[in-house]
Structures are given as structure tokens and as C-alpha cells.
Amino acid sequence: MAKHTQRSTPVAVIGLGCFFPRATGTHAYWHLLYHGKDAITNVPASHWSPEDYFDADPSRKDHVYCRRGGFISPIDFDPTEFGIPPSNLESTDSSQLIGLMAAKTALETAGYGSDVDFDRDRTSVILGVTGTQELVIPLSSRLSWPKWKKALKDARVDPVKARQVMESLADEYVEWQENSFPGLLGNVVAGRICNRLDLNGTNWRRPHRPRSSYRSSRGGCRCGEPRRCPTDREKNSPAIRRIHRPAIP
């Protein structure tokens, strides 16, 4: 039986970028921790209304029995800074936008800003991203119009009035467009970062809940090993195409 030998790869954290509840950026986050402040707040009006969904009875269907949580503060985002047309913002999930800002900040704090020359072919993006993004809910809800139509018809609502009701309901949800599909995919979070920040290493995401952060961090550490994370150019080689993604147990 072959003896298993553990190997250790030195890892250095040289840059950070983060967005936490009541803490935008690392300085605000350390300040929050140092002073022991509570980042848990009531649900902001920009999210959902407790009057609609809260009920102290945990068994009541389609309701929640909690009205407090950790919510990221509003963030100013300039789409032109990343070459994104403003008209595409509505169809782009917030995780992709926040990911861009966090990655850019991490590079800058590490000393690798846009004006610095470094080996971009060896710079990879590996993220822990959940399977369902925020944008999925309004987009899928908008596709429920056949059910609205049937319910209104069964209730014998006047066809003209029913059409007005359906249009009003549809306006509450994000409209489908050609950018909707890439805008809601979790794996595009890493790909968009590489594309917009001109990083040519590998990019992928770990969707496994609740260990996605751990697994992506481990994947990043293992990319320090030789030939674990080849560049896009190397991945076109038949000899290396089969190992373009680290095998992480």
C-alpha cells in the first residue's frame, strides 16, 4: 500500500477586498470588529417588506419568522469603469458587480493596480459562488404570466382589465434581454473579473454550499503548485487540456 505524503505549499495573502454588512472595505471591517459593533439590522426598505412576509409563527407558509439580518450597504458602481454598458446593469446580477469591485480592490491593495505591469497570464480567479443568484428570482417570476392569465380568466376578470393587471405585474420584475442569461450565471462572476481586469490565468467557481468559500480558498492554494492552474494559452494544448481544473477532493 502506497504511503501518502502530505505536501505543503507556502501561501501569502498580499491583498484584500471586501464588502460586509455595515463595513465597506477592509478598514471599515476591522473597525467593526475592533469596536465589537453589531452589523445585524432590521430589513432595509430596499429589500423586502416585513409587513408582507413576517409572521411570528414559524409554521405559516410563504412567510418568515425573522425580520433582522446582515445586509450590505448600498455601493456606488460606475459601469463605465469596467466597460459595462449602463443598459446592461439591470440584467447583471449584483454578485458579478460586487465581485469586480472586490477583485479590483484586492489587486490595488496588493500593489497591482491597472498601471502596474505584472504577469497577468499567471493571475487566476477562483471563487466560492452559490448556485442560485439574486437575479434568478425576478427573471423566473416574470415568466409566470401564463399562470396570472389563467387565474384572472378563471376569476372572470374582464380581458382588458386582466391585460392591464398582467402588465402591471410584469413591470415589477426585471425584463428578459440578451444579457440576462450571462448576467445571472454564477460561473460568469469569475469569468467577468478575468475579462474586465485583463487576467489571463484560469477562472472557475466552487458552487458547493456551504463549503464553497473553503473549497475555493483551497483551490487557490493548490494553484500555487506546478501546472495546477494553467493559463488560457496552455489550456489549448491537448497535453494539458485535461488538467485545466484542479482536482480537489
Backbone angles phi, psi at 217, to 5 degrees: -65, -40
All three cell numbers of 151, joined, read 387565474
Gap between the Cα atoms of 89 and 84, Å rounded: 8
pLDDT of residue 238: 46
What percentage of the chain exceeds 70 in pLDDT? 84
Note the pLDDT tens digit of each residue in 155-167.
999 999 999 999 9
C-alpha distance from residue 175 to each of 135, 172, 205, 208 (Å):
11, 9, 27, 29
- Mean pLDDT is highest, among 8-17, 205-214, 230-239, for 8-17
Give alpha helix (H) positions in 110-231.
136-142, 145-154, 159-170, 180-184, 187-197, 212-222
Position 230 confidence tier, pLDDT thresholds 50, 70, 90: low
121 phi/psi in degrees, rounded to 5:
-70, -20
168, amino acid identity: S
pLDDT (mean) for 194-219: 81
Residue environment code for 138-171, b if the CB has 16+ CB neighbours within 10 A, otherwise e: ebeebeeeeeebeebeeeeeeeeebeebeeeeee
66-75, 119-128, 222-231: which has the minimum mean pLDDT? Answer: 222-231
Where does the pLDDT of residue 237 fall: very low under 50, low under 70, confident under 90, or very high at 90 and above?
Answer: very low
pTM over 0.85: no
Q: Cα separation of 139 and 111, whole Å?
A: 39
202 CB neighbour count, 10 Å cutoff:
24
Helices 94-109 and 187-197, interaxial angle, to 10°?
Answer: 50
Question: Which pLDDT does position 232 carry in this prediction?
Answer: 52
* Domains of the chain: residue spans and CATH: 19-239 (3.40.47.10)
Distance from C-alpha of 15 to C-alpha of 238, rounded to nearest angstrom: 34
pLDDT over 90 percentage in the chain: 45
